[in-house]
Amino acid sequence: MEFNSLEYRKKRFEKIFSNKKSKNYIGLINFKKLDAVIYEKLKEQCLDFIIASFDPKIKKINFLQNNDEKLKFINKNIGKLYSMTANGFIVPKSHSCKEYNALIKTFYGLFDTKELESVIKYWQEPLGICFKSYDNDRSSLEMSKSSRIYHQTSNAHIESWAGYSNFGINTLLPLFGDTTKNYTEFFEPKENYNDFEVNSANRKNLDQIKYKNYKEKPANPAFKNEYSCGNLICWDNCLLHRTKINDKKSYRIFIVNQFIPYLTRKESKANIISKYRKLGRLTHNILSSKKHFLKFSKINDRRFKSTLGGKRDAYNYNVIKLK
Ligand SMILES: [Fe+2]
């Protein structure tokens, strides 16, 4: 079937990302430098969200004045952050609700461009706000105990193995940290790539399927220097990737999420998405309308819901319509 070929994937991707102000590489990944004012705003909103995520009992945080002070506090106290998953995702809670909504408004606003506005149907909520360091990306220890084929982000993976749509486009925006030592490593599909086969992988044949469908050497040299703070990165679901940390003392703070484009009827039939991920979808229209906000209730502050994405994914949120 046509959707299974690499050629189809590249054609679709290059049609979505046709803006000349951004750059496509290998037909599957796009980089766009953010406007300086918006970049600064996002950095501040991201730090404010993380600070608000700390247990409200830590009152000292109210005295933090600027980004440097906030960043220092976060790096020093990250181990005390109760709302962080095993993969480093900081889950929104009732006490970070206001800051979370401010941040997502700016983030989703990045996609209100002429090219993308009419292309994006859904996002997966909540957004991934991630603190990646060596300490919170513990190899494959837990992987061996799990029956899932996807667990830690340091194992090469694609998002559809964690239940996301195989037609999804991943977005990642590095905001702080050393992206030369702490980054994402990408592996290009081979010419004979078969999307159906790759998405039918199981624990037994995973290595074999990776070997058959993906090149062994990372594709990163093809887009050297593009993976940096302030550059918005988008890639097709079929691009294999993993977290790479070369310096144990390094860290990286970034925003990550997946959007699902409007699909043709034929694409819809070939679309694979888990029931958990289906429940987490919200339309781009709602998210960028500025007429809604996501509410995270106090009752869920200490709770985490288990989903395919990790053992402690976000708990439920409610969409509140503003009058
Ligand atoms: Fe990923």
Ligand 1 center from residue 69 Cα (angstroms): 30
Mean pLDDT of the chain: 88
Distance CA 293, CA 103 (A): 11
Helices and strands, number each (H, E), in the chain: 9, 14
Place 179 in a pLDDT band, splitting at 50, 70 and 90.
Answer: very high
Ligand 1 center from residue 250 Cα (angstroms): 19
| Mean pLDDT, residues 34-48 taken together | 98
Phi (first) and psi of residue 312, to 5 degrees: -130, 70
What local confidence, expressed as pLDDT, does residue 303 receive?
A: 74
Kindly report, residue by residue over 242-291, the tens digit of the pLDDT: 999 999 999 999 999 999 999 999 999 999 998 888 888 999 999 988 88
Ligand 1 center from residue 84 Cα (angstroms): 17
* DSSP secondary structure, 109-170, as one string: HTT-STTTTTTEEEEESS-EEEEEESTTS--STTGGG-S-S---TTS-B-GGGGT--TT-EE
Ligand 1 center from residue 270 Cα (angstroms): 21
Ligand 1 center from residue 322 Cα (angstroms): 33
Residue 264 φ/ψ region, left for φ over 0, alpha for ψ in the -120 to 50 degree band, beta for the rest: beta
Identity of the residue numbered 193? Y
What local confidence, expressed as pLDDT, does residue 87 receive?
A: 80
Does residue 149 register a pLDDT over 80? no
Ligand 1 center from residue 273 Cα (angstroms): 15
Ligand 1 center from residue 60 Cα (angstroms): 34
What local confidence, expressed as pLDDT, does residue 58 receive?
A: 76
What local confidence, expressed as pLDDT, does residue 322 receive?
A: 85
Contact 110, 259 (CB under 8 A): no
Ligand 1 center from residue 318 Cα (angstroms): 26
Ligand 1 center from residue 158 Cα (angstroms): 6
- The strand pair at 305-307 and 169-177 is best described as unpaired
Of 131, 182, 184, whose CA–CA distance to 156 is shortest? 184
Q: What residue ranges do the domains of the chain occupy?
A: 2-321
Ligand 1 center from residue 258 Cα (angstroms): 9
**pTM for this entry:** 0.92
Ligand 1 center from residue 152 Cα (angstroms): 9
Ligand 1 center from residue 196 Cα (angstroms): 19
What local confidence, expressed as pLDDT, does residue 159 receive?
A: 94
Kindly report, residue by residue over 77-98, the tens digit of the pLDDT: 998 888 888 788 898 999 999 9
Q: What percent of the chain is modeled with pLDDT above 90? A: 67
Distance CA 262, CA 275 (A): 18
Ligand 1 center from residue 306 Cα (angstroms): 18
What local confidence, expressed as pLDDT, does residue 59 receive?
A: 63
Does residue 140 register a pLDDT over 50? no
Beta strand ranges found along 151-266 (DSSP E): 169-177, 182-187, 231-236, 240-245, 251-261
Ligand 1 center from residue 65 Cα (angstroms): 33
Does residue 61 register a pLDDT over 80? no
